[in-house]
Chain A
Amino acid sequence: MTHDAPTSKGTIRILQLYPRDMNIYGDWGNVLVLKQRLAWHGYEAEVLEHNAGDAFQEDVDILIGGGGQDSGQVVIQEDLQANAARLRRLAEDGAPMLVICGLYQLFGKFFKTHDGMLIPGIGILDIETHGGSERLIGNVVANSEEFGEIHGYENHSGQTYLGPGVRPLATVTKGEGNNSSEDHEGARYRNIVASYLHGSLLPKNPAIADFLIREAAIRKYGSFEPGNLDDSLAELARKHAGARPR
């Protein structure tokens, strides 16, 4: 490979939502994977953060949000509601987004806690979440037509039910996924990938990372020219993860 004068294919701006309060399950890994893969694909990556109280930066190309403690969800609630219209506009415009666990729930219509309290979401996703008495914890393997086999780890007490406005991300073959009564995991809407899986999701699922990158490049530059990436380590990590106990 000759990289004497690498010409950047463009700059992709990643906005991490609420890293201060919603980043407890290795969500940084998802940001790092996007950042590095963008570089390997020949793009410049810029990572921005949005925390509660910050001015919202709308000129962004990929949005990414993670999970947090229940207490973290309370902290961001007001700010998230204040920025709901902006986030919806970006979503409807096809901005790729990855929302995991806590922000997956809050991107939906509501979270009804186990003791009956109703936490409103921002309704971008046609889903609702009900607090359960059991916690769903463990390794997960799920099959997606779009992305192949997905590997991750779940840790949530909310049980999420999908409405007709979204489709499931994948069908679970090991673990629970969205809830304990149905066999699907996560949700897909426009260019949003929503999931309960962390672990982190993107390192072992580069197909999802590249989907977000591709959609971002197409939305901004009209086309995506992938680089030649070696994902053999990710393949081996997937193989070993799939063989582990729940």
Chain B
Amino acid sequence: MSGLSSLSVPLGKAVRALSRLRGGGSAFPGLVVERIDPGFMARALRDLPRGVVVVSGTNGKTTTTKMVVELLEGQGLKVFTNRTGSNFTRGVAAALLGDVDWRGRLKADVAVLELDEAHAVHFVNLVPPTHCLLLNVLRDQLDRFGEIDKTTRLLEQIAVKTTGTVVLNREDPRVASIASSVKNATVAYFGLNEGLRDTFPSDDELRGATGTAPASRLPADVVLETVDSNTASFSMDGESSTVELSLRGVYNIFNAAAALAMARVVLGKDARREALLNSLAAVEPAFGRGESLVVDGQPLELVLVKNPSGFRLGLKSFDATGYATMIAINDNYADGRDMSWLWDVDFDTLREAGVDMVSGVRAYDMALRLKYDDVSVADIDTDTGSALRTFIHSAKGRPKRIFCTYTAMLAIRRDLSRITEVKVVS
């Protein structure tokens, strides 16, 4: 280390402290240290005894990363992760600044990093990961990437740079196809029992395809065998284990198989099965992702929806019977501006109970979508704050569920605490 780079850590830490005082953004100090010392991240991460794990894919990154972290912590490992939710390179650099000592050394056994699929390519060029976990290529963010095949190519570059093991979803044809490009690492898979294939349609099976593809013949290290509400059974090494999860939603439960597979790769022969399953049972949802709250003495569930597959699985996971339902759809940059995807979701399951409130910037697009599926809508209000007040008032005494896009979720989460006392259950 010489010149500026010897100063980058103290300087970065100082910027971090200052921006914290100002209540500023979490990534800015990362940007500073990236600019003055491009080698900072690679130096901090290269000597971790259990390596660097990258988690990517279009959907479920945050919750899956949280699961991998907690599974490894449950085995006694000290894990570094980008918990602030900043999944860009500079977000990782900013998180590192908080955890390294003044000489830029990180005291951890392993790093588990959630990376945005586009920014991951930049990251893996700086820091080749020892392992990567690639979840899925679903049809969201087409307004960002143009084509989902292009998203596949981005994930492929992560796999190509990986030096140890690449863990792939064998049920997603685009993700599974990446295996043929992996030359310097071994490939492992997670997957589904044949009976569950039609519960998780791949993106190509959303429309038009006749039936679902047969179960993959690729060998999988972890297979999700059954799901019944929150109870799931996983098969590992030919042995089946049943776990009662705190997480809800079938998509989270499939990602639990992914997290188990990744944790087993990192741990190798040190993996202790019972402890892994206990840790998995205890994992709670990440912020805003299938959280259960209590509002006015009744449960209120926030379900984040970002694309047709996710929305479909959300509707499938949660029975509408007895629930008051609100849907809030925004089209801000972080949500994706393209509204086409709403037309690839079937809303039949809401037909009987109807929808109490439709909100968000694109409330009328959503209401129009429901109209064409013969789902009745009691009220429409584009303002999420006043919509939420009306919804909570009119649904008094009933459990509530809100399906919302990302920025709508942030707004609702903020407004909820203003309107009423919010207790986080899980």
Contacts and interface: CB of A to CB of B under 8 A. Distances in A.
Contacts of A139: 337
A84 B43 CA distance: 60
Interface stretch (B233-241, B268-276, B358-366): B358-366
Given A20-B208, A157-B146, A32 B338 contact: no
B372 A26 contact: no
B338 A199 contact: yes
Nearest to B342: A26
B142 A236 contact: no
B368 A24 contact: no
B42 interface: no
Contacts of A137: 143, 146
Contacts of B147: 69-70
Contacts of A204: 365, 368
Interface string B345-366: 0000000000000000111110
Given A18-B208, A138-B143, A240-B361, 8 more contacts: A25-B340, A26-B341, A26-B342, A28-B207, A200-B343, A203-B369, A204-B365, A233-B368
Interface of A: 16, 18-21, 23-30, 32-33, 36, 49, 51, 69-71, 135, 137-139, 153, 155, 157, 198-200, 203-204, 233-234, 236-237, 239-241, 244-245
B308 to A, nearest CB: 8
Contacts of A155: 142-143, 146, 338
Contacts of B337: 138-139, 153, 244-245
Contacts of A234: 368
Interface residues of B, number: 33
Nearest to A19: B208
Nearest to A241: B365
Nearest to B146: A135
B368 A240 contact: no
A203 B208 contact: no
B204 interface: yes
A241 B371 CA distance: 18
14 contacts: A20-B210, A28-B207, A28-B344, A138-B143, A153-B340, A155-B338, A198-B338, A233-B364, A233-B368, A239-B364, A240-B363, A240-B382, A241-B339, A244-B331
Contact of B340 (A20, A21, A199): A199
Contacts of B146: 135, 137, 155, 157
A233 B148 contact: no
Contact of A199 (B339, B361, B367, B382): B339
B139 interface: yes
Interface of B: 139, 142-143, 146-149, 204, 207-210, 331, 337-344, 361-365, 367-369, 371-373, 382
Given A29-B343, A198-B340, A203-B372, A24 B364 contact: no
Contact of B362 (A20, A49, A71, A240): A240
A29 B34 CA distance: 45
A99 to B, nearest CB: 16
Given A70-B147, A138-B143, A203-B369, A32 B343 contact: yes
A71 B151 CA distance: 13
Q: Tell me which of A135, A237, A245 has the highest count of chain B C-beta atoms within 10 A of its own C-beta.
A: A237
A175 to B, nearest CB: 11
A69 B368 contact: no
Contact of A23 (B142, B207, B364): B207
A1 B340 CA distance: 33
Contacts of B342: 26, 29
Q: Tell me which of B146, B342, B363, B382 has the highest count of chain A C-beta atoms within 10 A of its own C-beta.
A: B146
A186 B425 CA distance: 52
A24 B371 contact: no
Q: Tell me which of B339, B369, B372 has the highest count of chain A C-beta atoms within 10 A of its own C-beta.
A: B339
Contacts of B364: 233, 236-237, 239-240
Q: Tell me which of B143, B149, B340 has the highest count of chain A C-beta atoms within 10 A of its own C-beta.
A: B340
A140 to B, nearest CB: 11
A25 B339 CA distance: 9
B340 A19 contact: no
Contacts of A244: 331, 337, 361
A236 B207 CA distance: 28
B285 to A, nearest CB: 29
A136 B214 CA distance: 37
Nearest to B208: A19
A28 B149 contact: no
B343 A237 contact: no
A41 to B, nearest CB: 14
